[in-house]
Amino acid sequence: MYTTRSDWEEFLEHRKSKSAIFALLVILGFTVIVIRLWHLQIIQHSALSDRAENNRIRQVTLDGRRGKILDRNGDALVDSRPSFQLSVIPEDLENPKKTLELLNKRVEFDMDEKLKEIKKARSFESVVIKRDITREQVAFAEERRLDLPGVHLEIKAIRNYIHNDIASHLLGYLSIITPKQLAKDTESVYSRNDFVGQYGIEKKYEKELRGRKGLKRIEVDATGRQLKLLGQEPSKSGEDLRITIDFKTQAAAEKAFEGKMGAAMAIDPDTGEILAYVSKPSFDPNTFALGITSKDWKSLIKDKFHPLQNRLSQGQYPPGSTFKIVVAAAALEEGIINESSTFYCPGHFRLGRRTYRCWKRGGHGSMTVRDALIQSCDVFFYNAGLKLGINKIARYANIFGLGRYPKINLGPEKKGLIPTTQWKKKYRKEPWIKGETVSCSIGQGFVLTTPAQQARMIAAVANGGTLAPLRIIPGRKNKNESDSGREPMNISPDTIRIIREALRGVVAAPHGTAWRLRNGSYSYAGKTGTSQVIQMKKDNPVENKDMELRFRDHAWFVSFAPYDAPKIAVAVIVEHGGHGGEAAAPIAQRIMDAYLDGIEKTGVEKRIGADNSHPVTENIH
C-alpha cells in the first residue's frame, strides 16, 4: 500500500518538529554547562581555589609552652607534661559515624556528643576526641590510620600540678575556655579547644604564663596526613613565674593540717611576702587539667565541707581572743589604761541583768593588760571594751587591717565585719546596746575576720607597727599600692612593746595559754583564741569534745618568731578544733619551725635547751 503525498509531507513535518526540539534542548544543555563553567571559573574561582588549596595546604597552630610556677627557691610547683591527643578534621572525614565507631572500640568517649561537635565545627577546625590517650591507644590509631581518614594524633602539653592538692587554692587551675571568654578574645589569642587559667595564680597571671602561638604550613594528602613541611613561624614560651611560697614550709603546713579543716597563712612580717598558703579541705587541680567531668564537678560543689572555698580570703570567723590584741592597743592608745592599770576578775562580769562569764570560772584575780593577754582574761577586756565603746574599737580594728580587704587579688575576697553603731542602725535598723560591746571586746558577737587579715595583723605587731601588703610575686606591687606598700599604723612604740612582751608571755610565762610551745626550738610569741560557733546555755554547759562537730568551737593562734628578730608571722584557724592553744598553736609551731630551720644559716639561731624556768599551769583558752 502506498502513502499519499499529503501523508509523506505530514511525516516530514513531524520529524522536523522533533529535530527542532532536540536541537533546542542540546543548545539549552550547552548553555547551562557554559554558564555553570563560567560561574565556577569566574564567580567562584577565588573560593574554590582557596578550598582546593586548603585540601592540599593546611595551616596548623603550634601551641606555646605555658610557663612554670616556681617557689621562692626555684623549685617547680607547676609545669606541663607532654601527652597524645586524638583529634579529627571534619573536612577529611569520609564517614564520621563509621570512623568514630571504629575508634570507640579502643578509645572510650561519648560518640553521640562527638558527632554533634563535628557537625557544629567548621570544616577545617580540629575537634578533640580524647585527650591524654594511652600508648596502646596511640598504637591502635597508628596501625589503623588507613581506616581512619581525618583522624590525627597530636602532641599536646597538659598542665601538671606536681604536688597534687598542695597550695591548690593559691595555684588555681586551668580549664577549657568558655564560649563567653572566647567571645571576649578580640585579639584572637585563643581557639575553641584552649585551656586557660580559671582560678588563682593561673588566672591572675594568665597573660604572663601563656605562651604565644606559632604556625606551620604543611602539604597534606587526601586523608589529611602531612606530606611536607612548607614553612613555620615558631611559637614562644610563656614566662616562668617565681612566687614567694617556700615549698618546705608549705608542705609542713599541709602535713600539720592532715585530717583537719581550716586555714593557715605564713608571711614575712617585714615584706608581706606569703610563705605558706593553706586552705583545707583542698582539691587536686590535676582533675581540671584534662577537662573536669560533670560527675567530678558535681562531687566538688556538693561536698558539705566545701573544698573549693578559699578559707584564707573568703572564710569569715569570729576572731575570739586574738581580737584582744586590738582592744589592748586601743585602750592603751586612748589612755583608758596604762601598763600598770588593773581590773579585778572574779570569773564573771555583770552588766544590767546579764552576767558575762570569763573562761576561767574561778576568776583570774587582779589583772594588768600584760597579765590579761597572757592568760586571756575575758573580764579585763569586758571592762576595757566598755570604756572604749564600739566605735573606737572599730577604728583600731581598721588600723590593724581588720574589716578591710586583704588585697591578695587572686580572686573574690571577704573583708569580714567590724561593727559600729552606724552599721547596726543601717543594716539591723536597731540601736547599739552595751552588751554587744562586751561580746565584741573578746572577738565574739558581730565581729568577723578572715585568716589572711589575721596574718597581716600579727605581722604588724611583729615588725613594730607597720601593715605590710600581702605579696605573692616578689617585687610586684598590688593595684593602687604606694611605692613601698607599707602602711604605718601610728601606734606608739610603747604600746607595741607592751603587746609584744605579753605575746611572748603567752608562750613563756606562767599560766600562758600557749604553754605547749615553751619547749620548742625557737622563741615564739603569739595569741590564742577560741571562737564560739553557737551560744552555750548558761545552766547546761557542754564540753566542746561532747558536741557535734559542726557546733564545736574554732581554734585560733596568731604568732611570730623568733621573738627578738621576727622572720615569720603565722595565722592558723582550725575549724571546730576546740581550744586555740591545744589545736592551732602546735600547727603554727610546725610551720614556723619548717621555715626557720630552712634559713638557720642566715643567722637565726635555735634556742639551746628548753625554757623550764616557770612551772606550767595548763590554760587552754
Average pLDDT, the chain: 87
Domain boundary among 191, 212, 242: 242
| Residue 592: CATH number of its domain | 3.40.710.10
- pLDDT per residue as tens digits for the range 231-252: 888 889 999 999 999 999 999 9
pTM (2 d.p.): 0.85
Q: Count of domains in the chain?
A: 2
Count the neighbouring beta carbons within 10 Å of the beta carbon of residue 539: 5
**Residue 128 within any structural domain of the chain:** no
**Residue 6 within any structural domain of the chain:** no
Average pLDDT over residues 11-29: 70
Distance CA 88, CA 111 (A): 13
- pLDDT per residue as tens digits for the range 169-197: 999 999 999 989 988 887 778 888 889 99
Distance CA 472, CA 477 (A): 10
Distance CA 476, CA 363 (A): 50
Together in a domain, 551 and 593 = yes
Together in a domain, 202 and 322 = no
Question: Closest by alpha carbon to 267, among 464, 501, 69, 458?
Answer: 458
Domain boundary among 242, 261, 293: 242
Q: Answer whether 363's CB lies under 8 Å from 372's CB.
A: no
Together in a domain, 434 and 583 = yes
Query: What pLDDT, on a 0 to 100 scale, did the predictor assign at position 236?
Result: 92
Only one residue has cell 612582751, namely 501
Name the more confident of 545 and 533: 533
Together in a domain, 180 and 270 = no
Own/partner pairs for 398-403, CB < 8 Å, 24+ apart? 399/489, 399/490, 399/491, 400/325, 400/326, 400/329, 400/457, 400/460, 400/467, 400/489, 401/453, 401/456, 401/457, 401/460, 401/467, 402/319, 402/326, 402/449, 402/453, 402/457
β-pairing verdict for 226-233 and 241-242: unpaired
Count the neighbouring beta carbons within 10 Å of the beta carbon of residue 349: 20
The catalytic site residues sit at: 321
**Residue 64 within any structural domain of the chain:** yes
Distance CA 321, CA 531 (A): 7
Give burial (CB, 10 Å; 0-12/13-18/19+) of 538. exposed
- pLDDT per residue as tens digits for the range 411-439: 899 999 999 999 999 999 999 999 999 99
Domain boundary among 212, 242, 272: 242
Strand partners, 287: none
Average pLDDT over residues 535-551: 60
- pLDDT per residue as tens digits for the range 325-376: 999 999 999 999 999 999 999 999 999 999 999 999 999 999 999 999 999 9
**Residue 93 within any structural domain of the chain:** no
Together in a domain, 195 and 253 = no
Band (pLDDT 50/70/90 cuts) for residue 484 is low
Give burial (CB, 10 Å; 0-12/13-18/19+) of 548. exposed
Chain-centre distance for alpha carbon 615: 44
| Residue 185: CATH number of its domain | 3.90.1310.10
Name the DSSP letter for residue 535.
P
Enumerate residues 6+ apart whose C-beta is below 8 A from 157. Answer: 63, 65, 66, 80, 81, 82, 83
DSSP result, 316-361: -B--GGGGHHHHHHHHHHTTS--TT--EEESSEEEETTEEEE-SST
- Residue 273: which domain range? 247-283+315-602
Only one residue has cell 615588725, namely 463
Q: Return the C-alpha cell found at 114.
A: 562527638
Compute the Cα dihedral for 4, 10, 15, 16 and give only its sign: positive
Strand partners, 263: 279, 573
Q: Return the C-alpha cell found at 232.
A: 613555620
Together in a domain, 232 and 320 = no
Query: What pLDDT, on a 0 to 100 scale, did the predictor assign at position 616?
Result: 40
**Residue 121 within any structural domain of the chain:** no
Question: Closest by alpha carbon to 584, among 617, 536, 618, 621?
Answer: 621
Distance CA 487, CA 493 (A): 15
What angle separates helix 324-333 from helix 451-462, to the nearest 10 degrees?
50
Query: What pLDDT, on a 0 to 100 scale, did the predictor assign at position 611?
Result: 44
Statement: residue 575 has pLDDT above 80? yes
Enumerate residues 6+ apart whose C-beta is below 8 A from 323. Answer: 397, 440, 441, 442, 443, 447, 449, 529
Together in a domain, 375 and 524 = yes
Together in a domain, 545 and 404 = yes
Q: Which residues of 403-419 are buried (b: 16+ CB within 10 A; e: fewer)?
A: bbebbbebbebbbbbbb
**Residue 43 within any structural domain of the chain:** no
**Residue 417 within any structural domain of the chain:** yes
Distance CA 359, CA 444 (A): 13
Together in a domain, 164 and 254 = no
Band (pLDDT 50/70/90 cuts) for residue 607 is very low
Q: Answer whether 469's CB lies under 8 Å from 407's CB.
A: yes
SS3 (DSSP) at 589: helix
Together in a domain, 234 and 340 = no
Together in a domain, 336 and 238 = no
**Residue 352 within any structural domain of the chain:** yes
CA angle 406, 462, 533 (to 5 degrees): 55
Together in a domain, 371 and 228 = no
